[in-house]
Amino acid sequence: MHLSGGRITVRTFETVLAQIEQRIAADGLTVGDRLPGERQLAEQLRVSRSSVREALRVLETLGVVSSQVGRGPDAGAVLISRPDGTLADLLRLNLGLTTMSAREVLDTRLMIERWSAARVTWAPPAMTEALAAMDLAASPEEFVTHDIAFHVALTDAAGNRLLSAVLRALRDALVSNAVEAVRRLGHTDDLQADHRRIHTAVEAGDGEEAVEAVTAHLARAYPGLSPIQNVF
């Protein structure tokens, strides 16, 4: 998804989620069966492989499939649970986001990240790696790519897979605004200071400080949407 005139438009991979669910049902796949490979699914659904790949990542986050790395008969995604209710709920959320404002999306992101920050008591490697990568970013777009990875890693570490999947949807809705924020500031020093504050608090297991750091960071990144309400 991305913002368009303050509203959200649905990205291709989100419609691919629905098509993959339909294929699972139509083909009568059961737990343990292997889905077609990325290339085959892309051809069958008439979409790009990148859209298929992103949809499969969401399904893996939700615990619907398990992806296998490699080539040959053992490569690809294996169905480990029927999507049913959980995926259907996520798809309804995706459809609902098409009518939601940037304010509503940011409030939801804030709730998820504050909830996560309060519960994470260690800094996962993906979070630390993203922090270092942002220091080396050569463009606003590259910086935001690692910025997104940093925040997703924080939510992943909290252990709620559905919230992780929702954040991945929300982060795509706000990516263009994040790039604009970097360009508006003209540098990333303040944003990186925020990230280091979040990382230090999480690493120390200081949930209260981590929550405050996340809140201050999002207020800095999206001043046009301030004031950010206290959502707890």
- Highest mean pLDDT of the ranges 11-25, 44-58, 152-166: 152-166
Residues in the chain, overall count: 232
Q: What angle do CA 207, 158, 206 make, to 5 degrees?
A: 15
Q: Indicate the residue type of 41.
A: L
Confidence (pLDDT) at 73: 57
- Most confident among 102-111, 143-152, 222-231 (mean pLDDT): 143-152
CATH fourth-level superfamily of 101-225: GntR ligand-binding domain-like (1.20.120.530)
CA distance 114 to 228: 12
**DSSP symbols for 48-69:** -HHHHHHHHHHHHHTTSEEEE-
Residues of the chain with CATH 1.20.120.530: 101-225
How far is Cα 77 from Cα 65, in angstroms, rounded to an integer?
6
Whether residue 34 is predicted with pLDDT greater than 90 in this model: the reply is: no
- Where do you find CATH 1.10.10.10 in the chain? 2-83
DSSP code of 227? S
What topology does CATH give the domain 2-83? Arc Repressor Mutant, subunit A (1.10.10)
Mapped onto helix, strand or coil, the DSSP state of residue 11 is coil
Higher pLDDT, 120 or 46: 120
| Confidence bin at 9 (pLDDT 50/70/90) | very low
**pLDDT tens digits, one per residue of 105-126:** 788 889 999 999 999 999 999 9
